[in-house]
């Protein structure tokens, strides 16, 4: 329910939602998808910190420095774009994490099995 209301609010403001770009005309093979997910997962922790820092700065700048409604709208648009990318990359990272298969590891064996 929450996802639907967020989508409705975004569409009401003429903003695309992640569901609008998930099934685009750029299909990937399974191998391409795995490679893409692993590339995003490799940089996701750093990108997440950077984007969250930019989001905070954009929020503070828009709320404290905007002098006109147009400036507020541009700030909101910038914020929404960064937030959407972060949400998209979070889902890609989670897809990568979900594909990891836990392996049994014997802590008592000094030499792994061949």
In a domain, 21, yes or no: no
CB 36 within 8 A of CB 53: no
Q: Which of 95, 90, 81 is closest to 43 using CA atoms?
A: 90
In a domain, 4, yes or no: no
In a domain, 28, yes or no: no
- C-alpha to C-alpha distance for 78 and 10, rounded to whole angstroms: 14
Mean pLDDT, the chain, whole residue set: 86
- Predicted pLDDT of residue 9: 76
Q: Which two tokens stand for residue 62?
A: 């828009």
- Predicted pLDDT of residue 40: 96
Q: Give CA 89 to chain center in angstroms.
A: 3
Q: Which of 69, 92, 88, 80 is closest to 15 using CA atoms?
A: 80
CB 41 within 8 A of CB 93: yes
Domain count, the chain: 1
In a domain, 106, yes or no: no
pLDDT tens, residue by residue, 26-53: 778 899 999 999 999 999 999 999 999 9
Q: Which domain holds residue 59?
A: 45-99
In a domain, 2, yes or no: no
- Predicted pLDDT of residue 57: 95
- Predicted pLDDT of residue 112: 61
Q: Which of 55, 105, 96, 90 is closest to 76 using CA atoms?
A: 55
Chunk the chain into consecutive blocks of 10 residues (it has 114) and report each block's average pLDDT, rounded to whole numbers.
72 75 75 94 97 96 94 90 92 94 75 62
């Amino acid at each position: 329910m929450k996802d639907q209301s967020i989508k409705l609010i975004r569409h009401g403001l003429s903003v695309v939602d992640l569901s609008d770009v998930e099934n685009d005309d750029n299909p990937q093979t399974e191998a391409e998808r795995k490679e893409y997910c692993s590339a995003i997962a490799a940089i996701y922790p750093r990108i997440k910190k950077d984007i969250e820092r930019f989001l905070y700065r954009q929020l503070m700048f828009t709320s404290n420095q905007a002098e006109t409604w147009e400036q507020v709208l541009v700030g909101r648009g910038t914020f929404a774009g960064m937030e959407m990318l972060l949400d998209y990359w979070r889902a890609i990272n989670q897809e990568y994490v979900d594909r990891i298969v836990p392996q049994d590891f014997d802590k008592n064996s000094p030499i792994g099995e061949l």
